[in-house]
Structure 1
Amino acid sequence: MRGDIRGWMAIGVIGLAVLAAILIGQQKPDSPEHSTNSDAANGASAVMLYASAMGHPTHQVTGSFEISEANTMLFVFTPTSPYTSEEADATARWVHDGGVIVYASEQGDPELDTALTVNRFARPVPSDSADANGPFLDGVRSVAGGTFALPFGLGARQVAVLRSGGLPIAYEERFGRGLVIALADPLELCNGYLEKADNGRFLADLLGLVPAGAPVVFDEYHHGLTASDITPAAWILTPWGAALLWLIVAIFFGLLLRGRRFGPLVPRPAEASRLDAEWAVAVGELLRRAGARAVTLGVLARASERAVAMQTGLPVEPRERFWQSLWQRAPDIASDLDSAERALYGSEKSEKDLLAAAQRLHGIAYPVSEEGRRRPRQ
């Protein structure tokens, strides 16, 4: 018992070590999703700290996607877990009721783009320097971002606030009682870019769109694992999938090396041989239940003909030649066999006549000598 416990403990320690090694090895000073939990240059932790320093209560949306506070600002940075249609519609309703959303994403989320009527062009434009011309951007003349961004196609109610090469890469839109701020380049708000150009003032002006002391919320729910992420490819292409896969492999090989069975051995039952009579009875019962009387008669007749052919040394096929040869070589047997078959086919409605005809055929096909008949049974 003690040995079993030690074995399981060893397997558990190995699995945890493999899991820790994978997770540590995959941690990089990089945050392509611009998470507010990351201090990397392309992370957004400074945005949350900046909002808190300006007197706004801040918290992250994790665990479940729920936004309930009124007069709240929501930051959405590059979702890596896609929005469902229900989540996107709920976000649009929340904005329509008075919320302010800052939606910063390079490619965008299909469902959220549809719900917020965001239209993106496929041809990128440089985003390392963008001109500011928004109505609320006090003291902001230019904003520095990454290398390229996909510009927006503006609707009638959408007003450009940042342009690059004459094309809008950020806009604002009155959405019901709320406001949508869409950015094609999230790096303009990331840690390593706030000191460039007028990026810091740009962030301050964004936070000034809500009243002082209004909560500021950051969507980290769509940067983590959600139900829609659990796909077959995720077991290979994601860190958590690779970690679980390696853990399963470690446990499997641990059990394999210990030679542990998953249960007691179940002996295979011995196969009992059946008598020929049992097979005959089973086939007969099957034919009787199927109502295959004509088939049964044909089987009996053909079996008798094959047995007679073996006795006389005649080929059973073709059947016409067999009968011609049998009448010439053994006319008595041919006469008896022909008479028995006629009696067999004439007994279609009587079980008693059928049994008598079958016994007669059996006697012709497998004749018993007089010596065999006189031999006493033992």
Structure 2
Amino acid sequence: MKKYRIQILLGFVFLAGLLITFATVKEPENFSNSSYNSDPKGTKAFYLLLENTNQKVSRFQEKPYYLKGKRGSLLLINPGRSFSKEEAKTIKVWVDAGSTLVYFNDGLLQNKTDNLLSEFNVSVERFSKKPDNPELTPVLFNNEVKRLEAKAPLYFKSGSKGPTLDPVLVLEQNSVMVSFTSGKGTVYLSSAAGLMINSNIERSDNAIFLYNFILDLQGPVYFEEYHNGFESSLDPFTELKRSLSVRLLFLQLLLAGVLFLYQRGRRKRPAVTLDKSGKRSVIEYVISMGNLFMSAKASLLVLNLLRKNFKAEISSYFRKTNILDTGLLDAVKKRAPVKNTRIMYYLTDSNFLQVTNIQLIKYAREMEELKREVKINDRIKNKNR
């Protein structure tokens, strides 16, 4: 009887673990960064958008060492942490081997000792006065710096043995995008992250350029998975694995397996489990294996349900902007990676994302007109009835 009490107790603990899992694993809200919140906006939304194009996207796990031996483009937009010297060196070696680094960071002045820039022998400096020809100089203005430093401009400076900086584009808010070669690879630097993700840039030609530039990068495109919590939307299974309640759930499964093996190998067997030949009853094996199987099955079922729930939440954000209804999302997925396609991606405070193009807008309008005609026809039919 004592054995059954333990099994009943373990059963209650297992059910409690399931309930805790359902109650605690959810979408993180109110991130510290102002461009993050409960809806997918800012960098989080942009990465979601990137994953829904035909671009191959891979997230590296916490440390850049995952990139060793791989080739592609590393996208860092306002990274949520500073890189150590060892990590910066790993990224530089990776770029020198023939890859591309895109580094957009709004807080370059606050972090002048950026290990990543230092590894490439590039620094951020401040002019004493505004240059006469900012279009010809790799000048970098930062919105926050403009408020704190009375519009004193910043600029990228190369060390004595550093690379040659080439201005790529003069952006709104007097920001620029610069590039330089490192080994066989290329690095793009800018403080345009805020320009891309924090404001409505519907009429911004520079933003169109930036988004098309990123979408046309040589793939696969890598970006950091653990970025201020957005990974729960992009990869819910990873978040579940990091959840304490899920760890407890798997610990219970492990304990159930240990108990099963212990019962199987016991020398002292209760009389009720012995058959006429003196061997352990097959029924006990079936019950033990059944309990273990159902525990594993229940855990996988919970994880799958939660995973589907996350996917459903992500899909609901797309539906908020009628992208699925108008077919725009499908059009984005099927888009050929042709340069200068003039497809514009922009994020606003009120919408998750919008995807506009002359042909796509025309298609969307046709869909809206078709919907109106259907509604009118339905009303006429209802009146006739």
TM-score range, shorter chain: 0.3 to 0.5
Higher relative contact order (CA 8 A, sep 6+): 2
| TM-score calculated relative to the size of structure 2 | 0.41
